[in-house]
């Protein structure tokens, strides 16, 4: 996510006074975390068992030589240890379930963010980051780190116990706690930066591997394997080096903390022995103080050992607060299905993340039954216009309206059933042919799927396959030919008889039979009262439309009745847009 995008999302949340989904998910789990805190309190109180047991054995049993007292104390200690162990297991299970429930809240939103962030200019790595961040939070909560964080507030309890035994023992424990807390601060400074670099390089490595997987055919066909492997090895080397540096920093500080805790434990034992020789404390108090001091610093040692996971989880939470702030859609009511018109009003279209418009002052008005062909030279903005018409690219200026209502009034889920869209890259996720045509709608009927396939002229092609509508297509339709993928994408666009059908270069991979099927599909949309818009370079496609728009020099130069526009194209085109004739319903 770019800095501008992050700032926009933060400003959006501040202006609306709403909390991000990540913060909402965490707040919903606060009662569960409260129970974890309660269990942690009981666990830390029970951790005094060892110190109290040692104190009683040395000061009571050895003095009285009472075996009955030793047996009773041992049974009580055993029961306390068993209870502590049981509570510790329950706490770990509770934390793992808290992580699972947070993931249950965030995973669907993270996936949705991965589908719309690219439309806001995010790179492939940025688009997938919310999914990884949700996983990071879940994994951290299921580890040892959170338990250590819950135990750290009870450090004063054990230090206070040392003070009760003798002030010198308490001050020694305080000094040790100050040193190990300082080590925690150093861990934060060193590990955070190195862990961030390691995570960034690891993500870059994963993105490269995914790109290589998707383009495996081209890589192998053109002998690019060695060059791609060399680049992969370079990325892997950099990622490994950064990961080693991060691990080394954490290991150095973690080892230092562990050794210091052992030194402090021995120091308190030695100080206790000195005080016991001077008869200021008993031998039992000496052992008890050593155990309590060690226990006071143990959570910090564990936290340092898991600090990299804590830093990663914290950064993931911060990113989720921004990346899941989906553009707000104020949909007060469900608007009726559009049936009358499409209007583009003085629109400026810019690519996501860019300020310079690709198209400026673009205007269109089409009514039910119109068929529009968008033509123009390569790079003139035809596909950009198509994306704007279906609401994929937000307009820097102007509006797209269906039956007079701006697309923003529909909401993405409300608008989708009324729009059929076929992009140039087809965008076919792995699934069966039936699932693909039905847009993965689990409630889709067989009749609706077959009707869409027939409208695209693809039914006979599909049933000729070994598994028919149950045939899996592979990621990107890799199991099908280019022409089959094109026909399948067209059937998906026609599924549900949408009012607005926008096809971007739909005939690029079609043979003569496919071209005829495309023309019949466009005519079918118009005959049932829909609007069909086709971005095309093929003259044969123009026969199925009644309107033509010429996109050139960053605007719509000509738009109107097909024959009139084609006549105008035989003459010099002026610099200003010309609206020739309004469209009408096909006969």
Q: CA distances (Å), 218 to each of 215, 225, 234, 474, 486, in order?
A: 6, 10, 21, 17, 20
pLDDT of 365-386, one tens digit each?
A: 999 999 999 998 888 889 889 9
Strand order in the sheet with 547-552: 419-422, 500-504, 531-535, 371-375, 547-552, 555-561, 578-579
pLDDT band at residue 584 under the 50/70/90 scheme: very low
Say how far apart CA 42 and CA 288 lie, in whole Å: 19
Shared fold status for 13-323 and 341-579:
no
Tokens of 272: 């206790």
CA-nearest of 358, 356, 367, 408 to 385 is 358
pLDDT of 212-224, one tens digit each?
A: 776 776 777 677 7
pLDDT band at residue 125 under the 50/70/90 scheme: low
Say how far apart CA 252 and CA 121 lie, in whole Å: 40
Task: Please indicate whether residue 142 or residue 530 has the higher confidence score (pLDDT).
Answer: 530
Indicate if the pLDDT at residue 285 is higher than 90.
no
Looking at the DSSP bridge assignments, the partners of residue 375 are 550
* Sign of torsion over alpha carbons 141, 147, 150, 155: negative
Looking at the DSSP bridge assignments, the partners of residue 555 are 552
Indicate if the pLDDT at residue 356 is higher than 90.
no
pLDDT of amino acid 50: 83
pLDDT band at residue 16 under the 50/70/90 scheme: very low
pLDDT of 327-351, one tens digit each?
A: 545 455 678 899 999 999 888 888 8
pLDDT band at residue 446 under the 50/70/90 scheme: very high
Say how far apart CA 180 and CA 259 lie, in whole Å: 11
Neighbours of 450 (CB within 10 A): 17
pLDDT of 564-579, one tens digit each?
A: 888 888 776 454 444 4
Say how far apart CA 513 and CA 383 lie, in whole Å: 25
Task: Please indicate whether residue 495 or residue 48 has the higher confidence score (pLDDT).
Answer: 495
pLDDT of 52-110, one tens digit each?
A: 888 888 878 888 888 888 899 899 989 999 998 899 889 888 988 888 888 888 888 88
Average pLDDT, the chain: 82
For tokens 């690891």, what's the residue?
Answer: 202
Q: Count CA atoms closer than 13 A to 408's CA, side-chain side.
A: 9
Residue 204 C-alpha from the chain's centroid: 16
pLDDT of amino acid 4: 46
Ranges of each domain in the chain? 13-323, 341-579
Say how far apart CA 131 and CA 112 lie, in whole Å: 9
Domain at 341-579, CATH homologous superfamily = P-loop containing nucleotide triphosphate hydrolases (3.40.50.300)
Task: Please indicate whether residue 50 or residue 448 has the higher confidence score (pLDDT).
Answer: 448
Say how far apart CA 534 and CA 371 lie, in whole Å: 8
For tokens 């510790």, what's the residue?
Answer: 88
Indicate if the pLDDT at residue 23 is higher than 90.
no
Which of 75-89, 336-350, 457-471, 503-517 comes out lowest in average pLDDT?
503-517
CB within 8 Å of 435: residues ≥ 6 apart: none
pLDDT of amino acid 14: 47
Looking at the DSSP bridge assignments, the partners of residue 367 are 341
Say how far apart CA 451 and CA 438 lie, in whole Å: 11
pLDDT band at residue 547 under the 50/70/90 scheme: very high
Instruction: Report, as an integer, the average pLDDT of 582-586.
Output: 41
Secondary element (H or E) of residue 522 = helix 512-527
Exposed e or buried b for every residue in 201-227, given b needs 16+ CB within 10 A? bbbebbbbeeebeeeeeebeeeeeeee
Backbone angles phi, psi at 560, to 5 degrees: 160, -160
pLDDT of amino acid 325: 66
Per DSSP, which regions of 136-283 are E strands?
none
pLDDT band at residue 459 under the 50/70/90 scheme: very high
- Whether residue 481 contacts residue 517, with contact meaning beta carbons closer than 8 Å, is answered with no
Whole-prediction pTM:
0.70
Say how far apart CA 507 and CA 524 lie, in whole Å: 17
Instruction: Report, as an integer, the average pLDDT of 316-323.
Output: 83
pLDDT band at residue 187 under the 50/70/90 scheme: confident
pLDDT of amino acid 312: 80
Secondary element (H or E) of residue 398 = strand 395-402
Looking at the DSSP bridge assignments, the partners of residue 399 are 345
Say how far apart CA 456 and CA 335 lie, in whole Å: 28
Task: Please indicate whether residue 266 or residue 472 has the higher confidence score (pLDDT).
Answer: 472
Q: Considering the domain 13-323, what is its CATH architecture?
A: Up-down Bundle (1.20)
pLDDT band at residue 532 under the 50/70/90 scheme: very high
CA dihedral 584, 392, 501, 439 (to 10 degrees): -160
Q: Is 83 helix (H, G, I), strand (E, B) or coil?
A: helix
pLDDT band at residue 124 under the 50/70/90 scheme: low
Indicate if the pLDDT at residue 538 is higher than 50.
yes
Of all residues in the chain, what percent carry a pLDDT higher than 90?
A: 20
CA-nearest of 535, 270, 575, 344 to 422 is 535
Of all residues in the chain, what percent carry a pLDDT higher than 70?
A: 90
H helix intervals, 215-329: 216-221, 225-277, 283-305, 307-323
Task: Please indicate whether residue 94 or residue 257 has the higher confidence score (pLDDT).
Answer: 94
pLDDT of amino acid 123: 66
DSSP 8-state class, residue 144: S
């Amino acid at each position: 996510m770019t800095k501008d995008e992050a700032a926009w999302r933060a400003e959006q949340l501040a202006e609306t006074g709403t909390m991000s989904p990540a913060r909402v998910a965490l707040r919903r789990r606060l009662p569960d975390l409260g129970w974890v805190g309660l269990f942690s309190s009981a666990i830390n109180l029970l951790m005094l068992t060892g110190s109290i047991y040692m104190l009683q054995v040395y000061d009571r049993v050895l003095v009285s030589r009472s075996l009955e007292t030793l047996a009773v104390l041992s049974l009580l200690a055993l029961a306390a240890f068993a209870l502590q162990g049981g509570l510790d297991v329950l706490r770990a299970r509770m934390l793992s379930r808290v992580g699972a429930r947070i993931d249950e809240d965030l995973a669907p939103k993270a996936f949705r963010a991965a589908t719309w962030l690219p439309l806001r200019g995010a790179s492939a790595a940025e688009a997938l980051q919310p999914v990884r961040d949700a996983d990071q939070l879940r994994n951290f909560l299921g580890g040892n780190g959170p338990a250590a964080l819950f135990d750290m507030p009870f450090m004063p309890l054990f230090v206070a116990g040392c003070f009760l035994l003798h002030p010198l023992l308490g001050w020694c424990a305080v000094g040790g706690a100050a040193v190990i807390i300082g080590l925690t601060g150093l861990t934060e400074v060193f590990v955070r930066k190195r862990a961030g670099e390691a995570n960034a390089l690891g993500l870059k490595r994963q993105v490269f591997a995914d790109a290589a997987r998707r383009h495996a055919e081209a890589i192998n066909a053109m002998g690019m394997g060695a060059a791609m492997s060399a680049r992969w090895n370079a990325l892997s080397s950099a990622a490994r080096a950064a990961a080693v540096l991060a691990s080394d920093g954490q290991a150095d500080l973690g080892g230092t903390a562990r050794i210091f805790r052992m030194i402090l434990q021995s120091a308190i034992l030695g100080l206790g022995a000195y005080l016991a020789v001077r008869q200021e404390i008993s031998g039992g108090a000496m052992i008890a103080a050593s155990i309590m001091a060690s226990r006071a610093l143990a959570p910090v040692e564990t936290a340092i050992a898991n600090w990299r996971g804590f830093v990663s989880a914290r950064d993931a939470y911060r990113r989720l607060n921004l990346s899941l702030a989906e553009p707000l859609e104020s949909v007060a009511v469900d608007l009726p299905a559009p049936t009358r018109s499409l209007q583009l009003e003085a629109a400026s279209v810019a690519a996501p993340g860019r300020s310079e418009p690709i198209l400026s002052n673009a205007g269109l008005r089409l009514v039910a039954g119109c068929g529009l062909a968008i033509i123009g030279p390569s790079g003139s903005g035809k596909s950009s216009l198509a994306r704007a018409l279906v609401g994929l690219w937000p307009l820097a200026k102007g509006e797209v309206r269906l039956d007079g209502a701006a697309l923003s009034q529909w909401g993405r889920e409300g608008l989708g059933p009324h729009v059929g869209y076929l992009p140039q890259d087809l965008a076919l996720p792995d699934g069966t042919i039936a699932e693909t045509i039905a847009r993965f709608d689990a409630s889709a009927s067989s009749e609706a799927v077959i009707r869409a396939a027939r409208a695209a002229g693809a039914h006979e092609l599909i049933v000729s396959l070994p598994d028919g509508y149950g045939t899996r297509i592979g990621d990107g339709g890799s199991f099908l030919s280019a022409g089959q993928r094109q026909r399948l994408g067209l059937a998906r666009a026609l599924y549900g008889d949408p009012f607005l059908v926008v096809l971007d270069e739909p005939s690029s991979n079609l043979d003569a039979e496919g071209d005829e099927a495309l023309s019949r599909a466009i005519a079918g949309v118009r005959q049932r009262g829909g609007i069909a818009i086709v971005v095309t370079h093929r003259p044969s496609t123009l026969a199925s439309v009644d309107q033509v728009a010429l996109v050139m020099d960053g605007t719509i130069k000509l738009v109107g009745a097909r024959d009139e526009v084609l006549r105008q194209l035989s003459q010099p085109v002026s610099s200003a847009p010309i609206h020739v004739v309004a469209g009408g319903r096909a006969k």
